[in-house]
Chains A and B, each alone.
Chain A
Amino acid sequence: MSDVMKSIRRTPYQSFASFLILLFTLFMALFFFSITSYLNGVLSYFETKPQVTAYFQTNVKEGDIMNVKKELESSGKTKDIRYTSKNDALKIYHDLNKNNPLLLEMVSSDILPASLEVFAKQPEQLSSIANYLKKQPGIDEVVYQQNVVDNLLKLTTTIRRVSLLVVGVILFIAIIVLMTTTAFKIALKKDEIELLQLLGASNFYIRKPFLTEGIFFGWISGSTAFLIFYAIFFYFYPFLKSYMGTITDIPLFGLAQYNLYVWPPNAPFILLTYILTVLFGMLIGIIGNYLATSKYIK
């Protein structure tokens, strides 16, 4: 550790450059990771909602509706189909309006429609399911969130591609910068490295201080990127919260069992992003330093 401090004091500008480029890289990686996992979460949130709801005219017989249901099920595109009868609908209506006797008086099961809620296996199949339902006799209305899901899907795919590209490019630059600054540090210690080799030091012994320094820079840059990112995030949190409305408890990549929630972000999720950021930083630090030392230490 004291070796790292000594090295930083000896090459302050190079060290600062390493820190800045790592900070920038990790901030961007963290930013894109958060956006991607957030969008992914929102997408799967909408995917778990009844995706297509078909309301039938009130005069359609239950048997006809069940036929439609069976036929849809045999298409293999659906994950689940829920039937809501007129009576079920009335029950739901009653629950919703418990405190409003006037509204309850006005409605009987006759005027409420029966409906099918269809969950698709893949969001891409939504529109064909909706089209199929629209063509059935006795259909009153087909409601589905095609636009929401489609747009989210497009956005998620685009963001994932863009972030891979951007992070890839920054990563490349970061490794080049780290290699250059490390090469500079190595040049300053050329005599020492040569002496160590002649004394019989192992290559690992010679590399170790440079690797330690890479790990240290990964850690300090990762921590700083993390702090800056969450400072900005919590500054905008009230705004985001009003935008998200009632949508809450979105698990990371649908992995609800790990107690990692993207929205609103819970402590385990924030901790995970911290660990990932720092580990990623250390990895970049190690790679950059390893490549630089490889040029001098065979």
Chain B
Amino acid sequence: MIKFENVSVRFGSGITALNTVSFEIDTNDFVFLVGPSGAGKTTILKLILKQLEAAQGTILVDDLNITSNRFHDIETLRRRIGVIFQDFKILPDKNIFENIALSLKIQHISNAEIRNNVEEVLHLVGLPNKTLLFPSQLSAGELQRIAIARAIIGNRDIILADEPTGNLDPKTSWEIMKIFKKLEKKKTIVFATHNTDIVNSMRRRVFVMKDGHLVKDSKKGGYDI
């Protein structure tokens, strides 16, 4: 469960990136976060990851108030969350295996277990034979799958995807969506995008953002702004 209560974010430059936003996402729900560039989608994801502090309001992850002054265990929170960053954040000097393994290595998981897990997620995202290649040797679509693999490995139960189909062609985008369909039963997924086709055909819950406001929350909605 992820719950926002009147959450606002302001930047020093006077920009209100998020303006009294409230919503609730149930465990294992799938939500699209849509809206034009600059609407506040990334800001919402960063708040959940506690990469950003809210100026006002309360954010709950399950029963944990992560905006409270008494909340300090950011590490445990972040280990529950898999993020597919808008800019991938794949390390160029590590090979694919190492990049994905990083997500588990920081949790002091044994090498044997890491190997099994990496193999498993690479099958899931459809790139089983690329472990020893380096990021520069992969296409954008493949990199996106690697980013997804790193986000979902090791039982992270909340997935935050920031425009994961952003710079992919339609065919590759659909293949990426297939991966998310496989995941959605077991994970809470927040999926930021401005890809109308995908949102409309998936028929999932949609939050429409505009200038920092949550302007529409439609169950099994479409997206036609």
Contact = CB atoms under 8 A, between A and B. Distances in A.
A200 B102 contact: no
A69 to B, nearest CB: 73
Contacts, number: 36
A200 B78 contact: yes
A3 to B, nearest CB: 11
B49 A205 contact: no
B202 to A, nearest CB: 27
Contacts of B81: 200
B91 A195 contact: yes
Interface string B44-82: 000001010000000000000000000000111111110
Contacts of B85: 198
B83 A200 contact: no
A200 B77 contact: yes
A197 to B, nearest CB: 8
A200 B75 CA distance: 4
Nearest to B107: A200
A201 B103 CA distance: 9
Contacts of B76: 200
Nearest to B79: A200
A191 B74 CA distance: 19
Nearest to A196: B106
B89 interface: yes
A59 interface: no
Contacts of A197: 78
Given A195-B102, A196-B106, A202 B91 contact: no
A197 B83 CA distance: 12
Contacts of A195: 89, 91, 102
Contacts of B75: 200-202
B39 to A, nearest CB: 22
Chain B CB within 10 Å — which of A192, A199, A202 has the most? A199
A119 B64 CA distance: 76
A202 B79 CA distance: 10
B106 A201 contact: yes
B91 A198 contact: no
A207 to B, nearest CB: 12
Contacts of B91: 191-192, 195
Contacts of A205: 106
A196 B98 CA distance: 13
Which 4 residue pairs spanning A and B have beta carbons closest together? A200-B78, A200-B79, A201-B106, A200-B75
Interface of A: 191-192, 194-202, 205
Interface of B: 49, 51, 74-81, 83, 85, 89, 91, 102-103, 106-107
Given A198-B85, A200-B76, 13 more contacts: A191-B89, A191-B91, A195-B89, A195-B102, A197-B78, A198-B89, A199-B78, A199-B79, A199-B102, A200-B74, A200-B78, A201-B75, A202-B75
